[in-house]
């Protein structure tokens, strides 16, 4: 009787390989097919637009089932939930959004997201512009410094800009308080 030995192949860990050695692109295809409703259609359309906007985009599969698109760093993710397809831009807070696509995760200093609901029409031109801007940010020298602290500081300054007359009035009021000006 012949002895049979089996050797186990070592599997790569990380984002490049999924179940059974499937590529990230194959896993994304499977996710779209598995959804088989408006969410799958929306995720498929977003994926097409990302690839059209950046033909050099790299598809990844991270965090046990989240499609990720990268180019010199993460551009965005494509998460699917019961009532929404969420496209989260990793450095969205640093991107200009003149069309106002960002409608979720607006409070943070780094990320921004677009929530697509059933029946929503995708503004393809604006989404492609955001993809272009994200790639430009990732490939720029500025990307190494993280979110634009300068822009954030300028916005804060604008919010607290005081009129000189208003400031003089406050100083005058304060000077009339008991104990003001004593060391």
CA–CA distance from 42 to each of 20, 84, 122, 137, 172 (Å)? 26, 10, 9, 25, 60
Cβ–Cβ under 8 Å, residues 79 and 64:
no
- Is pTM beyond 0.75? Reply is no
Rounded to whole angstroms, the Cα distance separating 113 from 106 reads: 8
Identify the residue whose tokens are 């896993």: 27
DSSP-derived secondary structure letter, 8: P
- Residue spans per domain, the chain: 19-147
Options 3.40.1370.10, 3.30.390.50, 3.90.1150.200, 1.20.810.10; CATH for 19-147 is 3.90.1150.200
Per DSSP, which regions of 32-179 are E strands?
58-62, 66-70, 74-80, 85-89, 112-116
Per-residue pLDDT of the chain (183 residues; tens, 9 = 90+): 444 443 333 333 344 444 567 899 999 999 999 999 999 999 999 999 999 999 999 999 998 899 999 999 999 999 999 999 999 999 999 999 999 999 999 998 999 999 999 999 999 999 999 999 999 999 985 445 555 555 655 565 565 555 666 767 777 777 777 776 665
């Amino acid at each position: 009787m012949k002895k049979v030995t089996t050797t186990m192949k070592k599997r790569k860990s990380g984002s490049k390989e999924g179940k059974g050695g499937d590529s990230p692109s194959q896993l994304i295809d499977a996710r779209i097919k598995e959804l088989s409703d408006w969410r799958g259609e929306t995720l498929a359309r977003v994926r097409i637009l990302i690839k059209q906007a950046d033909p050099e985009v790299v598809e990844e599969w991270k965090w046990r089932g989240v499609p990720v698109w990268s180019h010199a760093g993460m551009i965005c993710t494509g998460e699917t939930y019961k009532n929404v397809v969420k496209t989260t831009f990793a450095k969205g807070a640093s991107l200009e959004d003149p069309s106002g696509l960002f409608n979720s995760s607006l409070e943070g200093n780094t990320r921004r997201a677009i929530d697509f609901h059933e029946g929503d029409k995708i503004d393809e031109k604006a989404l492609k512009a955001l993809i272009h801007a994200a790639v430009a940010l990732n490939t720029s020298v500025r990307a190494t410094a993280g979110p634009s602290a300068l822009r954030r500081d300028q916005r804060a300054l604008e919010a607290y800009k005081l009129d000189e007359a208003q400031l003089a009035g406050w100083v005058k009021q304060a000077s009339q308080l008991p104990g003001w000006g004593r060391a």
